[in-house]
Amino acid sequence: MSRQQAFDWNSFVNEQDPEVTGDFATATKERLHLVHENFSSFVQLLNPPDCHHWLRNITLRVIEGFLRWYLTIHLFKYQSGFKTFVRFFRMYYREEMKCEFPIKLGQQLTQLVSVTLTDEYELDKGAKTQPTMNIDDVLFTTYHLLAESRIAFPTFRTLFQLNTLRKMMTSTSARPGTLVESSGYLRVNDALKWKDIELYMVKHPDDQGSEVLLMRVTHRLNKGLRNRGVAPYITCPQDIWRLTTVPEHRHSTPIHFKRSIQDVPIFRRSTRGRNGVSTTDPTLAISYSQMREYEKEASLAAGFKERGSLYKYRKGAAANLRHLDEHSRNIIMGHRKGGTFANYVSVRDDTQSVFMETPTRDSLLKLASNASLTRDVSVPHHLSPAQKATIENDPEISELKKHCDSIRRDLISEHHKLKTAKEAGDKRHREFEKLQAKIRTKRKRLHDSTRTKLRQEFFQGVGNQIIEQNYHGSPVTFTPSADHIQPQRKALAELEFKNRDADRVKDEELIADRIKSLELRLELHKVQIPKPLSRLIKFDKSGKVFPLFKESDSGLECPVCLGCSELDPRVRTYRYARKDILQNHFKTHKLPAFFGRQGRECDVPDCSRISMSLPAYKCHIASYHKIYL
């Protein structure tokens, strides 16, 4: 008897249906969980406060109430983003109820979202536009960030990472989420890793007498496709060229990375070390949202009218792929449909010259369609003290401050300390914290809106200002201040941005410059400047560097900074203006968290005294080093 006749298909079809679950990607699961958390918070305002009750009895009114509640607590600007949230709500309904979303209700919901809520909440129906970047823009932004920008990054590696990310995106048209930790895959720690990099010293195909360093990168994390070296002889930049000579019978010398770092992300976030100074985290990838904020600040500092995001570099790279066929573009850009490419390109065809049958004016057309057309580094970046005071005197902020101070006085009069009130579970302390958060949020919004308004007014009136000053014979000039830029940064920028034809430079000179560039980068990692001091320390000739000491003659140096070799010498011996400023700075190191069972060794160089607590540490610093904290 055959196997088909022996099997009881009648029993099989009468069994209970198996449970089939959707195999969603990690990002989709995160979004569905977010919808669940928000819907759970909303139904707490209803009776009964049960999610499944309202899902079983779903009506358009329930959904409208949830969406209006969500819009009041979240700042949606674009209709497209709000529609995405609604789409995930419908997916959430299907997963929870194990059935399709009602067709009639879906049609009504589409009308509600596309018309009623969009009009009432003034959602922008357009798409997020990105300024177009060309090679000149990329070169300018990378140079400005390195040589002139006064943005205080946590570490110099963070600055280098942002410039490297820009170059990689324009060179490969990769999405930023394939290089750093994507916002849709947070806490996964998946980004471009060392195992995705292959380094080769190869014989130059066009010049067999020379060798060049070649890097091959694998993008594992393209959208929809997420899926140890042993030679310890390369210890400095010179070794990369000195020890990798290609044998005669080969075309390349592979340069392997240690197995211990192959799963370590290349672009990593910063963290605070034992001495309170920011360092690069050894294992955790930096997130796209953090790099996006760095990019926005860097674009503002460089004088661009529109900030854009990291995607503007992908758009700039896509503009140079128009000549390729559709299939090649889809592979390079990571698209599934050829029509998606149209969203990335701007029309750059000189139709006037084509009609007149004259040579096209490509250079003028590129300038007219790129972000550098209106770039001006003299645009104001920060608010003046008077403008900040105006924000603090805002009626709403003033009222919140009065209420906050009133609760604070009541808590201190009853519990003597805010910490004691919190430990006692006083509800007023929770209200006090909420008011503080509300004040910070309101202040930040007013600060951002005022800053945006200043920039808009500048770009709207800068043309009239230039014309007026030219009329009076005093042309507009601007010289950026470089007093706060370290000499190593200036030297690195001058080295990497030499105006020369690389094809006419000897290989020996190019290799020497590359080695010097790597050495300067490594040197910059050892001269870090904390953010509070980045605008106080000047690196001009008048800047004074005090020697290290065992006993202070001023009592205004920070003992923790004195012992941190990663800091710039000017930072280590920096003398604060007053005792209270030094004490406030000392608190930022958060030393109480770094006193273990074995205590903490004194941070002052050449002093090995161990203190078991912070009071003992302060007593030792005052007695032996004459610094009173």
- Which long-range contacts link 221-225 to residues 24+ away (Cβ below 8 Å)? 221/177, 221/178, 221/182, 221/190, 221/191, 221/192, 222/174, 222/175, 222/178, 222/334, 223/175, 223/177, 223/178, 223/334, 224/334, 224/336, 225/334
Average pLDDT of the segment spanning 518-526:
86
Residue 63 has pLDDT above 90, yes or no: yes
Please, how many CA atoms are within 13 Å of residue 133, restricted to the half-sphere of its CB?
30
| CA 359/CA 186 separation, integer angstroms | 51
Domain shared by 514 and 536, yes or no:
no
Domain shared by 508 and 563, yes or no:
no
Residue that wins the pLDDT comparison between 519 and 242 = 519
Residue 41 has pLDDT above 80, yes or no: yes
Decide if 287 is inside a domain: no
Please report, as a single letter, which amino acid is at residue 317. A
Decide if 291 is inside a domain: no
Residue 495 has pLDDT above 50, yes or no: yes
Residue that wins the pLDDT comparison between 491 and 538 = 491
Paired tokens of 555? 């009592």
Residue 472 has pLDDT above 60, yes or no: yes
Domain end marker among 237, 264, 291: 264
Average pLDDT of the segment spanning 279-294:
88
Domain shared by 434 and 516, yes or no:
no
131 — pLDDT class (breaks 50, 70, 90): confident
Domain end marker among 97, 120, 143: 120
Paired tokens of 38? 């928000």
Domain shared by 246 and 215, yes or no:
yes
Domain shared by 540 and 620, yes or no:
yes
Decide if 109 is inside a domain: yes
Rg value, the chain, Cα = 30
547 — pLDDT class (breaks 50, 70, 90): low
356 — pLDDT class (breaks 50, 70, 90): confident
Domain end marker among 104, 120, 136: 120
**pLDDT reported for residue 229:** 40
DSSP-based helix, strand, coil % in the chain, nearest 5:
55, 10, 40
Decide if 133 is inside a domain: no
pLDDT tens for each residue of 218-261: 766 565 444 444 456 677 777 777 778 888 888 788 888 788 88
**pLDDT reported for residue 211:** 79
Average pLDDT in the chain? 83
Residue that wins the pLDDT comparison between 375 and 538 = 375
Decide if 153 is inside a domain: no
Decide if 302 is inside a domain: no
Report the share of the chain in percent with pLDDT over 70: 89
Decide if 44 is inside a domain: yes
Q: How many CB atoms lie within 10 A of CB 183?
A: 14
Decide if 451 is inside a domain: yes
**pLDDT reported for residue 59:** 92
Number of separate domains in the chain? 5
Find the domain containing 69 and state its range. 26-120
Domain shared by 536 and 518, yes or no:
no
**pLDDT reported for residue 599:** 83
Average pLDDT of the segment spanning 293-305:
88
**pLDDT reported for residue 346:** 65
Q: How many CB atoms lie within 10 A of CB 71?
A: 16
Domain shared by 36 and 84, yes or no:
yes
**pLDDT reported for residue 168:** 86
Please report, as a single letter, which amino acid is at residue 228. R
**pLDDT reported for residue 108:** 92
Domain shared by 585 and 513, yes or no:
no
* Contact predicate 529/186, CB 8 Å: no
Average pLDDT of the segment spanning 594-622:
85
Q: How many CB atoms lie within 10 A of CB 500?
A: 11
Domain shared by 494 and 409, yes or no:
no
**pLDDT reported for residue 544:** 60
pLDDT tens for each residue of 150-194: 888 888 888 999 999 888 888 888 888 888 887 766 667 778 888
Which helix (H) or strand (E) element contains residue 203? Answer: strand 197-204
Domain shared by 514 and 559, yes or no:
no
